[in-house]
């Protein structure tokens, strides 16, 4: 028998429950921008907030770091980027 009005785990699917998120101390401009963005899409600010969070946090990268590096253009030889370490300068450290 359930205690304190709790339902037994076999009656409800605990994995399907949704979490709630409260965001405090947002600038008024951010709230206003969210409401405007939501209105343009014809959805509530809450629905738009969920969509933004999903889009940003759950998106899959379209390419790996390795692919990004390989996509960089070949702009020269390694020697073109070499640093001259034997500079004549009077730093007061040489004898």
Distance CA 37, CA 39 (A): 6
pLDDT score of 4: 53
4 falls within a domain: no
52 falls within a domain: yes
For the segment 58-84, what is each residue's pLDDT rounded down to a tens digit?
A: 887 777 888 888 888 888 888 888 887
61 falls within a domain: yes
29 falls within a domain: yes
User: For the chain, how many structural domains are there in total?
Assistant: 1
50 falls within a domain: yes
Distance CA 62, CA 44 (A): 29
41 falls within a domain: yes
φ, ψ at 36 (rounded to 5°) = -65, -45
For the segment 19-63, what is each residue's pLDDT rounded down to a tens digit?
A: 888 999 999 999 999 999 999 999 999 999 999 999 888 887 777
> What pTM did the predictor assign?
0.48
75 falls within a domain: no
pLDDT score of 31: 96
- Write out the residue range of the structural domain in which residue 38 sits: 25-65
Distance CA 38, CA 48 (A): 5
Do 49 and 34 contact (CB within 8 A), yes or no?
yes
30 falls within a domain: yes
């Amino acid at each position: 028998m359930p205690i304190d009005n709790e339902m037994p785990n076999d009656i409800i699917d605990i994995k399907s429950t949704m979490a709630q998120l409260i965001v405090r101390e947002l600038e008024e401009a951010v709230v206003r921008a969210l409401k405007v963005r939501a209105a343009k899409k014809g959805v509530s600010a809450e629905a738009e907030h969920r969509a933004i969070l999903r889009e940003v946090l759950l998106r899959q990268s379209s390419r790996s770091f390795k692919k990004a590096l390989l996509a960089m253009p070949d702009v020269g030889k390694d020697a073109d980027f070499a640093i001259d370490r034997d500079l004549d300068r009077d730093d007061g450290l040489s004898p």
